[in-house]
C-alpha cells in the first residue's frame, strides 16, 4: 500500500516551494518599483577624486599568509593573524612588533582588538575564539598598568614579548566554540562581548567573562565568511555575508534576520558598513563590490570592471565614504569612487593575494595584509 503520509508531504513541499517562489518574485518586484534613481547618475556632478596613496610601512614578521588584521582604537597598534598560527601586535608608526602569541593550531582566520586596546580575540581552524591580554595597554586609562604586565614600550623599542607560549596560553580565555572554523570575530562596543561568524553557517554573540553563548543567528545556508557590527553607538544590527551569496542584516536583540540580499554571483568574503550605518558594502569572489541600502532595501551600486576578474577578500571605506578600497586576489588594492562607480587607481605592492584590509580608526591610513606574509600601511 502506498504511504499516504509521503504523498501529502510531497504536495505540501510543492505548495510551499510555489509559495516561496511567488513571495520571492513579489519581493523583487516591490523592491524594483521603488527603484527610481541610480547612485552613479547622481554622482556624475561632484569633482573627481585625485589623491594617490603610497605604501608607507611594510610590516614583516609572519612566516606565512596573513589572514586577518584589526586596528586598535589608539590608531597606532595593529593585530594581525596568520596561517603560521601566530598572532602579532604591531606598533605601526615604528613598524615594530610588540607582542607575539603562538597558537597551537595554524590558520588563524580572524583577529580583533578590544575597544580598550587591552585584549585581543582570535580564532580559526580550531573552531574556537580566544581572548588574550595585550601587554602594553595603558593608552586609554592613563597611568594604570594591568597587574603583572610590562610597562609601555617607548616607540622604536624592538623585541616581542611573551615568546614563551606556555605563559600566554595560561592567560588565554576560550570564549566561543563553534562546530566549524571561525571566519570572523569582533568585539561589540565593549570589551565584554564578542560576535563571531563561522563556517558552520551561523553567527553568535558571546559573553567574554563567562564564555556563555548569548545569542545565536541561524539563516545562512552555507559558511558565513564575515560579520560586522553597526558602527552607531545605539546600533543593534549587524551584517553578515556568506558562501550562499547572501548578505543578511540581523537584529541582535531578537536574533532574527531583518533583511537579506542576494545579488552576488558567488561567495561573499567581506561585509563593511558605510559610515552612516544605513548602508553597507560587500566584496565577493565574483569580482564585484556591491553596496546595499537598508532603507531602500536593495542594491544601490555595483563596482566592477571587465578587466577585473579576481575575487575580493576585503573591502573598507574611507572616512567620508567617498572611496572604497578593495583587497583583490590579483595582488592589488583597487580604489573605487563610491558615487561615480569608477576605479580611481590601483595600488601595487603586495606580491601575492591581498587577504585583508582595514581603515584606521581616524581614517589617516589603511593597512592591508597579504599571502606574501607582509602587512602594508598606506597613506
- By CB under 8 A, tell whether 271 contacts another protein: no
Out of 7, 21, 163, 236, the residue judged to bind another protein by CB under 8 A: 21
- By CB under 8 A, tell whether 26 contacts another protein: yes
Give the number of residues in contact with another protein, rule: CB under 8 A.
73
- By CB under 8 A, tell whether 365 contacts another protein: yes
Q: How far apart, in whole angstroms, are the C-alpha atoms of residue 320 and residue 270?
A: 20
Left (φ > 0), alpha (ψ -120 to 50) or beta: where does 301 sit?
beta
Cell of 179: 562546530
| Closer by beta carbon to another protein, 105 or else 179 | 179
Q: Which residues, 60 to 119, sit near another protein by CB under 8 A?
A: 76, 92-93
- By CB under 8 A, tell whether 157 contacts another protein: no
Out of 74, 267, 293, 304, the residue judged to bind another protein by CB under 8 A: 293
Q: How far is the CB of 211 from another protein (least distance, A)?
A: 22
Indicate the pairing of strand 298-303 with strand 289-293.
antiparallel
Give every CB contact of residue 2 below 8 A, 6+ residues apart in sequence.
Answer: none
Q: Which residues, 167 to 206, sit near another protein by CB under 8 A?
A: 200-202
Q: How far is the CB of 198 from another protein (least distance, A)?
A: 10
Q: How far apart, in whole angstroms, are the C-alpha atoms of residue 191 and residue 174?
A: 14
CB 338, CB 300: distance < 8 Å: no
Round to the nearest angstrom and report the end-to-end CA distance of the chain: 75
Q: Please identify, among the stretches 39-47, 101-109, 167-175, 308-316, the one whose residues bind another protein according to the rule CB under 8 A.
A: 39-47
- By CB under 8 A, tell whether 19 contacts another protein: yes
- By CB under 8 A, tell whether 321 contacts another protein: yes
Q: How far is the CB of 40 from another protein (least distance, A)?
A: 9
Question: b/e map of 222-251 (b: 16 or more CB within 10 Å)?
Answer: ebbbbbbbbeeeeeebbbbbbbbbbbbbbe
- By CB under 8 A, tell whether 49 contacts another protein: yes
48-to-39, 54, 321, 323, 347 alpha-carbon distances in Å: 15, 19, 14, 11, 18
Q: How far is the CB of 170 from another protein (least distance, A)?
A: 34
| Closer by beta carbon to another protein, 43 or else 115 | 43
- By CB under 8 A, tell whether 221 contacts another protein: yes
- By CB under 8 A, tell whether 213 contacts another protein: no
Q: Which residues, 236 to 265, sit near another protein by CB under 8 A?
A: 244, 255-260
Give every CB contact of residue 147 below 8 A, 6+ residues apart in sequence.
Answer: none
Amino acid at each position: 500500500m502506498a504511504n499516504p503520509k509521503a504523498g501529502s508531504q510531497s504536495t505540501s513541499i510543492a505548495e510551499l516551494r510555489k509559495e516561496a517562489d511567488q513571495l520571492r518574485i513579489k519581493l523583487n518586484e516591490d523592491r524594483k518599483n521603488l527603484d527610481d534613481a541610480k547612485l552613479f547618475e547622481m554622482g556624475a556632478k561632484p569633482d573627481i577624486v585625485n589623491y594617490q596613496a603610497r605604501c608607507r610601512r611594510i610590516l614583516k614578521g609572519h612566516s606565512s599568509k596573513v589572514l586577518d588584521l584589526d586596528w586598535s582604537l589608539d590608531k597606532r597598534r595593529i593585530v594581525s593573524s596568520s596561517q603560521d598560527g601566530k598572532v602579532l601586535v604591531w606598533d605601526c608608526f615604528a613598524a615594530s612588533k610588540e607582542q607575539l602569541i603562538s597558537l597551537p593550531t595554524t590558520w588563524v582566520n580572524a583577529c580583533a582588538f578590544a575597544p580598550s586596546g587591552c585584549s585581543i580575540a582570535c580564532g580559526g581552524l580550531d573552531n574556537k575564539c580566544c581572548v588574550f591580554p595585550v601587554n602594553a595597554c595603558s593608552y586609554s586609562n592613563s597611568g594604570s598598568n594591568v597587574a603583572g604586565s610590562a610597562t609601555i614600550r617607548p616607540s622604536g623599542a624592538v623585541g616581542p614579548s611573551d615568546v614563551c607560549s606556555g605563559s600566554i596560553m595560561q592567560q588565554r580565555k576560550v570564549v566561543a566554540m563553534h562546530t566549524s572554523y571561525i571566519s570572523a570575530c569582533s568585539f561589540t562596543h565593549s570589551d565584554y562581548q564578542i560576535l563571531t561568524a563561522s563556517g558552520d553557517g551561523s553567527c553568535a554573540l558571546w559573553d567574554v567573562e563567562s564564555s556563555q553563548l548569548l545569542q545565536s543567528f541561524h539563516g545562512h545556508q552555507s559558511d558565513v565568511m564575515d560579520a560586522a557590527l553597526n558602527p552607531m553607538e545605539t546600533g543593534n544590527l549587524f551584517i553578515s555575508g556568506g558562501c550562499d551569496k547572501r548578505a543578511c542584516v540581523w537584529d541582535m536583540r531578537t536574533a532574527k534576520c531583518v533583511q537579506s540580499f542576494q545579488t552576488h554571483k558567488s561567495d561573499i568574503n567581506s561585509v563593511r558598513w558605510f559610515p552612516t550605518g544605513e548602508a553597507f558594502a560587500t566584496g565577493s569572489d565574483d569580482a564585484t563590490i556591491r553596496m546595499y541600502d537598508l532603507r531602500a532595501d536593495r542594491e544601490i551600486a555595483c563596482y566592477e570592471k571587465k578587466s577585473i576578474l579576481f575575487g575580493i577578500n576585503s573591502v573598507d571605506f574611507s572616512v567620508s565614504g567617498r572611496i572604497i578600497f578593495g583587497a583583490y586576489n590579483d595582488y592589488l588594492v583597487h580604489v573605487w569612487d563610491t558615487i561615480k562607480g569608477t576605479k580611481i587607481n590601483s595600488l601595487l605592492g603586495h606580491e601575492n593575494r591581498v587577504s585583508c584590509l582595514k581603515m584606521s580608526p581616524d581614517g589617516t591610513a589603511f593597512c592591508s595584509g597579504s599571502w606574501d606574509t607582509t602587512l602594508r600601511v598606506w597613506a
